[in-house]
Amino acid sequence: MPVLTFHQAINAALREEMRRDERIMVMGEDVGHVGGVFRVTEGLQQEFGEERVVDTPLNEIGIVGAAIGMAMTGIRPCIEIQFSDFIYPAFDQIVNELAKVRYRSGGQFSAPVVVRTPYGGGVRGGHYHSQSPEAYFVHTAGLTTVIPSNPADAKGLLKSAMRSEDPVIFMEPKRLYRSMREEVPEGEHLVPLGKARIAREGSDATLLCYGAMVPICLEAASRAAESGTELEVIDLRTLWPVDIESILASVRKTGRVVVVHEAPRACGYGAELVAQIAERVIEYLQAPVVRVTGLDTPFPYTLESHYVPDAQRVLTGVQRVLKY
């Protein structure tokens, strides 16, 4: 099995799917000739030509809007928004159009577009290269929101997203692009959408996380194990529609939950998880659910390492649920 970095695994998924399905095209800013600012699409234009791998003008409305028109008429665009911080100009096209094509046309049209976009901190990118806007898309009916946490899942989830009949917001933890390397299955490796993964089993408390927070939570779990505390780490993989059964099963087992994400806290994705748990399994809880998240501030530059949760902050959250 080849050992790939995160960004190489995504590249492999794109390449394999483009070979398999000639309806797929890739477009975005700088994705063609230079292979993207993170080189995720490197070599695709050389293999598939300028017609299927397109450097677009600098306009997110155009990228998403044109992809919708293509998808409604039989093409499968997999588009890149260079940083998720730059996705907002296309917000109307994503929320009002992409997500709603099927519903508002009575199921006559659909728009199976994959919107790939790097998100999150850890690269000293400041406010405009570090945000985690996933909650907006989870809140939007009609979208599937996916965030992988490792190279093998990145490949398998992206391949599934590209075969989905629904639009998928596929957010890539940019800090892991080159920092994480592991064995990735070759060929037909599909990870189903809507299925979480138990990244580590444990019985004392549950950590609910996704994307770049998964390695942080695994690190926290290793450290906790040294003092005899066994944490269960659930990697959600698909944020919405979320794998509710896996979450509930873990909560029933541990009775203690910490939700971890780097996005701001207020109305963040974790709030929905807390509400779901409270509505369904509150009788199993031994302690209030704790959220370890980014702050409700703009994303800071110099103080970034204090803003993004690390293993120590996760462990502090764990102490709160254990000692309640």
Site membership for another protein, residue 273 (CB under 8 A): no
Residue 228: Cβ within 10 Å count? 7
The residue annotated as part of the active site, out of 33, 127, 129, 306, is 129
Taking the C-alpha atoms of residue 316 and residue 168, their distance in angstroms, rounded to an integer, is 34
Taking the C-alpha atoms of residue 20 and residue 24, their distance in angstroms, rounded to an integer, is 9
CB of 248 to another protein, least distance (A): 12
Q: Nearest-CA neighbor of 115 among 70, 152, 177, 150?
A: 70
E strand map for the chain: 3-5, 24-28, 53-55, 76-80, 114-119, 144-146, 168-173, 181-183, 197-200, 205-209, 231-235, 238-240, 257-260, 290-292
Q: Nearest-CA neighbor of 251 among 204, 292, 217?
A: 204
CB of 62 to another protein, least distance (A): 3
| Bridge-based pairing state of the strands 144-146 and 238-240 | antiparallel
Site membership for another protein, residue 56 (CB under 8 A): yes
Of residues 173-212, which lie at the interface with another protein (CB under 8 A)? 194
CB of 196 to another protein, least distance (A): 13
Q: Nearest-CA neighbor of 59 among 32, 28, 36, 31?
A: 28
Site membership for another protein, residue 279 (CB under 8 A): no
State the number of binding residues for another protein (CB under 8 A). 47
Residue 253 phi, psi dihedral angles, 5° rounding: -75, -45
Q: Nearest-CA neighbor of 237 among 317, 156, 165?
A: 156
Site membership for another protein, residue 72 (CB under 8 A): yes
CB of 104 to another protein, least distance (A): 5
Residue 287 phi, psi dihedral angles, 5° rounding: -155, 155
Site membership for another protein, residue 300 (CB under 8 A): no
Site membership for another protein, residue 160 (CB under 8 A): no
Taking the C-alpha atoms of residue 274 and residue 175, their distance in angstroms, rounded to an integer, is 27
Segment contacting another protein by CB under 8 A, of 2-10, 37-45, 55-63, 212-220: 55-63
Interface residue with another protein, options 73, 227, 302, 323 (CB under 8 A): 73
Taking the C-alpha atoms of residue 83 and residue 299, their distance in angstroms, rounded to an integer, is 14
The sign one gets for the Cα dihedral 64, 110, 40, 220 is positive
Site membership for another protein, residue 71 (CB under 8 A): yes
Q: Nearest-CA neighbor of 17 among 159, 155, 154?
A: 159
Site membership for another protein, residue 134 (CB under 8 A): no
Site membership for another protein, residue 109 (CB under 8 A): yes
Site membership for another protein, residue 66 (CB under 8 A): yes
Using the minimum distance from each CB to another protein, give the nearer residue, 110 or 319.
110
Interface residue with another protein, options 142, 151, 156, 264 (CB under 8 A): 142
189 is catalytic: no
Interface residue with another protein, options 10, 14, 44, 64 (CB under 8 A): 64
Of residues 212-251, which lie at the interface with another protein (CB under 8 A)? 241, 244
CB of 108 to another protein, least distance (A): 6
Site membership for another protein, residue 107 (CB under 8 A): yes
Annotated catalytic sites, by residue?
Answer: 129
Which residues here bind another protein, judged by CB under 8 A? Answer: 25, 51-52, 54, 56-57, 59, 61-62, 64-75, 77, 89, 92-93, 96-97, 100-110, 141-142, 144, 164-166, 194, 241, 244
